[in-house]
Amino acid sequence: MTEARGLDQVEVVPETRYYPWQWRGREVAIAYDGRGEGQSLLLLPAFSSISTRAELQGLAVELAQHYRVITLDWLGFGESARPPGCSRPAIYQAMLNDFGRDVVPEVAGVVACGHSAGYALGLAAQGDVAGLKAIALVAPTWRGPLPTAMGERRRIYSLLRWLVWSPLLGQGLYALNAHPAFLRWMMGRHVYSDAAFITPELMQAKHHTTQAPGARFASAAFVTGGLDPVQRRTDWLDLIESA
C-alpha cells in the first residue's frame, strides 16, 4: 500500500507545446501543456494580467494521475502570443473552438476559471466536441472588473481601452496597473483569501508575466469589459442553459 501511494504522488512532467492558430491571416502561437494519459481534460485559467496556466498546475498534476490533462494560456496572456487588437469575444471563442477541434477533439471534461467560464460554455454549445460530458466552473464571471464595479458605461470603457492600447500614454497607464505594489494590493483584495500565499517568489512570477511585450492589450480588454462573453445576466443564464 505504501508503494501504491508513492506512485500516486509521482508528478507527471508536462509537455509544453505551441498550437499554431491562424488569426487575421497569420499564425499566432497558443502555449499549452499536456500531462498524463487517458481521457482528455481541458483546464482553462482565468483572464487577468497575472493569470497563466501555471495557476492550474497543482490541479493538473493531481488529475494527470488518471487523465490526459491539457492546460493552455489564452491568446494575449501567459506565454501565448500577445497581438494588438484581440479584444472581441468572437476571437476568443473561435480560438477555443479551433483548439478543441485540433488538439483535444475527444475532450471529456473542461475546468474553466473566472471569465473562461463563458467560453467553455460556448465550446460546449458551438464547438466540435461531441465527447464533452462535463464542465466545472470555478468562480465563474461574465462581466469584466470595470463594468462590475462601476456599471454599464461601455463607451467610456471602450475609450479607456483605446487609451491603454496607445503607444505612449497607454504604456504609462499600464505600467501603473502592473506596478508590484498595485499587483500585491489587487491579489490581496481580489484573488487570495489568505495573504500568506502571496510570497516574494509568487510576486516575482506574477510581475514577470505582466512585463511581456504586448501584455497590455488583452489585459485592458478584459478589465474594460471588452472580453465579456455576454453583456446581460439573462444572456448569461441562457448560455448556461444552451451548453
Pairing of strands 68-72, 26-35: antiparallel
As a whole-number percent, the residues of the chain with pLDDT over 70 amount to 95
C-alpha cell at 70: 491539457
How far apart are the C-alpha atoms of 129 and 110, rounded to whole Å? 11
End-to-end CA distance of the chain: 41
Taken in order 63, 94, 221, 163, the sign of the CA dihedral is positive
Q: Considering only CA atoms, which of 148, 121, 139, 169 is closest in space to residue 222?
A: 148
pLDDT band at 161 (very low <50, low <70, confident <90, very high): confident
Coil vs helix vs strand at 81 = coil
When pLDDT is averaged across residues 113-129 and rounded to a whole number, the result is 91
pTM, 2 dp: 0.88
pLDDT band at 107 (very low <50, low <70, confident <90, very high): very high
Other CB atoms within 10 A of residue 108 CB: 17
How far apart are the C-alpha atoms of 146 and 55, rounded to whole Å? 23
Distance of CA 140 to the CA centre of its chain: 12
pLDDT of 67-89, one tens digit each? Answer: 999 999 999 999 999 998 777 99
How far apart are the C-alpha atoms of 197 and 208, rounded to whole Å? 17
Q: Where are the domains of the chain?
A: 2-242
C-alpha cell at 40: 482528455
- pLDDT on residue 3: 39
- Looking at the domain that runs over 2-242, which CATH code has it been given? 3.40.50.1820
